[in-house]
A and B are shown apart, each in its own frame.
Chain A
Amino acid sequence: MAHGTYSYQPKNAFTKWLDSRLPILRLMDETMLQFPTPKNLNYWYTFGGILTFMLVLQILTGVVLAMHYVPHETMAFDSVERIMRDVNYGWLLRYLHSNGASMFFIAVYLHIFRGLYYGSYKAPREVLWLLGIVIYLLMMATGFLGYTLPWGQMSFWGATVITNFFSAIPFVGEAVTQWLWGSFAVDNSTLQRFFSLHYLLPFVIAGVVVLHIWALHVPGNNNPLGIDVKGAADTVAFHPYYTTKDLFALVVFIMVMCYFVFFNPNFLGHADNYIPANRLVTPPHIVPEWYYLPLYAVLRSVPDKLIGVLLMFGAILVWAFLPWLDRSSVRSYKFRPVSRQLFFILLIVTWILGMLGAQSVDGDFEFYFGLVLPISKLFLSQICTIYYFLHFLVITPLVSMNEKALPVPESIATAVLAKNSSAPKARTTG
């Protein structure tokens, strides 16, 4: 609210009475309606609103699914099948929830990479960025716990592999994993506590989201130019300009989700999870949900358990240091030609890690169209893992200190006006 010239005026006797007791309408007006927002935000900035919607959708569908689901090893799988076959609209609610989780992650990855590209992590938004990492970690935990609940083969063995990460801790690893399981292996006790925590964590996420939005509203939005708002000419009110833009993007996003929910509901899942959990048979090829695949590839790239697990968690924690590893005085990669190219290389490397995470361990890299490249998967995943960490820990500090940035516009208003004044010319020639 640094650049606000507005003020909330209660209009009738009731809102005046309320405003002097609980100024909640004032808060909503200032944060959701009048909030001055840079006038140059593009569609990459709509994912915050989309993510808020997805959190609400997941909580709503989750609460009603919990009315029918039974968290017990002998009944969990059957209760999910009952939801699919017998419960009124159960199929819709479950497919919304399971595909909703994937869509939630698609949106969060776009949101994170947008923050990277426009330098939104840089001062004065470090706390905003750190809170975002906390939300992402909570989302990973919630997604994993939820995937366990249908108690299919992938649920059971995914839970086994992930909980075994903690057995890598020296000395107390075994005690910690048995504490997590409540048994000597993944068991009914594990399922019940996972259900309890899966119900709890979304509300924790909602709490951190409030802090995230609070931390956004102190410095205000970053923008594609990455320059500070200098005055009222640079901003527009959040409502109706960005409420409309966010709603339009949300409708398009929901249409994509509807394709998966109604036409391809199991595309993002794994067929083995329709086999009931069997503790005596490991599926031939365990794969996590798609949104963990790059991290899974990092884990498997190291032939040492403890180092593999540490690197996997490190791959996310390294983001937390980015605001201080990036020494550039310019935020947006639009004006940082080298960083911009490195950003796209990082995207490609992460994508390759994701492909590697989906493939079996041994053999050569399977590219698309059935093409097998003559490079061993293990070697490629090691190269990509090393590059991933080098990007953040070495390349980013060095490049950001030495890179010559392009000239940055004087203000958002002048950049927007310059763009618009050239537009009619383009129209006449076109």
Chain B
Amino acid sequence: MAHSADTAHVTRRDFLLVASSTAAAVGGAIALWPFIDQMNPAADTLALKEVEFDLAPIVAGQIVTIEWQKKPVFIRRRTPEEVASAEGAALADMKDPQADKDRVQKAEWLILVATCTHLGCIPSNLFKGEFGGWLCPCHGSHYDTSGRIRKGPAPKNLEVPPYQFLSDTKVLIGAAPKPTAPAEHG
């Protein structure tokens, strides 16, 4: 309204029209929200938060797949060679560089969400790929023994879920790690 002549033409009717159509638009948008939000995970789905797992039967070199929040999770008891190769890998070559020690709480135990970060397939336990970790059969992503993406279309490393060790042989997946837990490496 640069010109005072224009403002003279703005009537009470114009104001009411703008105000009421704005109220209708905002109200309509708010009324739409329940129809959108109903598709988000429901309360019972969100309740499937934590899973406890007994590590004792797993031998070195073995990979176990369990289910957490309807997602597969790998629990891998790494051999010393696998740990060494994970810790020794040069970060500079990586697409999503992250040190191995930032991805494990105990070097022996690698716990990962087993969902390829490309399009959600489960990387293969049988075909370990060029870096000794996992090969995703769908579109050929290679992960190393720390679950880091090393080759192929996946953009990120396999996700590390929140977990805490309840004892030496018991792990609770879905729970935030205890802040006081001493870091044990090697």
* Chain A residues with CB below 8 A from B106, complex form: none
Min CB gap A188→B, angstroms? 9
* Chain A residues with CB below 8 A from B173, complex form: none
Query: Does B170 count as interface, using CB distance less than 8 angstroms?
Result: no
* Chain B residues with CB below 8 A from A183, complex form: 41, 45, 69-70
List B residues 63-81 near A (Cβ within 8 Å).
65, 67, 69-72
Query: Does A239 count as interface, using CB distance less than 8 angstroms?
Result: no
Cβ of A279 and Cβ of B67 under 8 Å apart? yes
Cβ of A279 and Cβ of B70 under 8 Å apart? yes
* Chain A residues with CB below 8 A from B152, complex form: 303
Min CB gap A20→B, angstroms? 38
Min CB gap A199→B, angstroms? 16
Interface centre among A160, A165, A282 (most CB of B within 10 A): A282
Cβ of B121 and Cβ of A189 under 8 Å apart? no
List A residues 157-176 near B (Cβ within 8 Å).
157, 160-161, 163-165, 167
* Chain B residues with CB below 8 A from A180, complex form: 39
Cβ of B45 and Cβ of A187 under 8 Å apart? yes
Encoded as 1 (CB less than 8 Å from any A CB) or 0, chain B from 152 to 172 comes to: 111100000000000000000
Cβ of A157 and Cβ of B41 under 8 Å apart? no
Min CB gap A367→B, angstroms? 21
Interface centre among B42, B140, B152 (most CB of A within 10 A): B140
* Chain B residues with CB below 8 A from A362, complex form: 140
Q: Which bucket holds chain A's interface residue count?
A: 35 or more
Min CB gap B64→A, angstroms? 11
Cβ of A300 and Cβ of B45 under 8 Å apart? no
Encoded as 1 (CB less than 8 Å from any B CB) or 0, chain A from 136 to 172 comes to: 0000000000000000000001001101110100000
Min CB gap A414→B, angstroms? 56
Encoded as 1 (CB less than 8 Å from any B CB) or 0, chain A from 177 to 188 comes to: 011111111010
Report how many A-B pairs have Cβ atoms within 8 Å. 89
Q: Answer whether A282 and B153 are a contact pair too, CB < 8 Å, given A179-B39, A183-B45.
A: no
Query: Does A59 count as interface, using CB distance less than 8 angstroms?
Result: no
Closest chain A residue to B127 by CB distance? A284
Cβ of B67 and Cβ of A282 under 8 Å apart? no
* Chain A residues with CB below 8 A from B42, complex form: 182, 189
Cβ of B69 and Cβ of A160 under 8 Å apart? no
Min CB gap A71→B, angstroms? 15
Cβ of A161 and Cβ of B138 under 8 Å apart? yes
* Chain B residues with CB below 8 A from A308, complex form: 153
Min CB gap A391→B, angstroms? 24
Query: Does B110 count as interface, using CB distance less than 8 angstroms?
Result: no
Cβ of B41 and Cβ of A184 under 8 Å apart? yes
Query: Does B120 count as interface, using CB distance less than 8 angstroms?
Result: yes
Whole-angstrom CA separation of A157 from B115 in the bound complex: 12
Cβ of A280 and Cβ of B122 under 8 Å apart? yes
Option from A185, A281, A304, A360 in Cβ contact (under 8 Å) with B153:
A304
List A residues 257-308 near B (Cβ within 8 Å).
279-286, 300, 302-306, 308
Cβ of B70 and Cβ of A187 under 8 Å apart? yes
Closest chain B residue to A301 by CB distance? B153
Interface centre among A182, A303, A360 (most CB of B within 10 A): A303
Min CB gap A360→B, angstroms? 8
Query: Does A349 count as interface, using CB distance less than 8 angstroms?
Result: no
Cβ of A160 and Cβ of B41 under 8 Å apart? no
Closest chain A residue to B138 by CB distance? A286
Min CB gap A148→B, angstroms? 14
Q: Answer whether A157 and B67 are a contact pair too, CB < 8 Å, given A178-B40, A282-B138.
A: no
Query: Does B137 count as interface, using CB distance less than 8 angstroms?
Result: yes
Whole-angstrom CA separation of A360 from B177 in the bound complex: 40
Option from B71, B119, B139, B140 in Cβ contact (under 8 Å) with A185:
B71
Whole-angstrom CA separation of A390 from B64 in the bound complex: 47
Query: Does B101 count as interface, using CB distance less than 8 angstroms?
Result: no
Cβ of A179 and Cβ of B45 under 8 Å apart? no
Query: Does A39 count as interface, using CB distance less than 8 angstroms?
Result: no
Whole-angstrom CA separation of A280 from B137 in the bound complex: 14
Query: Does B118 count as interface, using CB distance less than 8 angstroms?
Result: yes
Cβ of B118 and Cβ of A305 under 8 Å apart? yes
List B residues 83-140 near A (Cβ within 8 Å).
115, 117-122, 124, 137-140
Closest chain A residue to B66 by CB distance? A280
Cβ of A185 and Cβ of B122 under 8 Å apart? no
Whole-angstrom CA separation of A198 from B176 in the bound complex: 39
Q: Answer whether A182 and B39 are a contact pair too, CB < 8 Å, given A164-B118, A305-B155.
A: yes
Option from B45, B72, B137 in Cβ contact (under 8 Å) with A279:
B72
* Chain A residues with CB below 8 A from B41, complex form: 178, 181-184, 189
* Chain B residues with CB below 8 A from A306, complex form: 155
Cβ of B45 and Cβ of A361 under 8 Å apart? no
Cβ of B153 and Cβ of A161 under 8 Å apart? no
Encoded as 1 (CB less than 8 Å from any A CB) or 0, chain B from 33 to 48 comes to: 0001001111001000
Interface centre among A167, A305, A308 (most CB of B within 10 A): A305
Cβ of A280 and Cβ of B40 under 8 Å apart? no
Enumerate 5 A-B pairs (CB-CB under 8 Å) in ascending A order: A161-B138, A182-B41, A187-B70, A279-B67, A286-B121
Given contacts A160-B120, A184-B69, A300-B153, 4 further A-B pairs with CB under 8 A are A161-B120, A163-B120, A178-B41, A184-B41
Query: Which residues of chain B have a CB within 8 Å of any CB of chain A?
Result: 36, 39-42, 45, 65, 67, 69-72, 115, 117-122, 124, 137-140, 152-155
Query: Which residues of chain A have a CB within 8 Å of any CB of chain B?
Result: 157, 160-161, 163-165, 167, 178-185, 187, 189, 193, 279-286, 300, 302-306, 308, 360-362
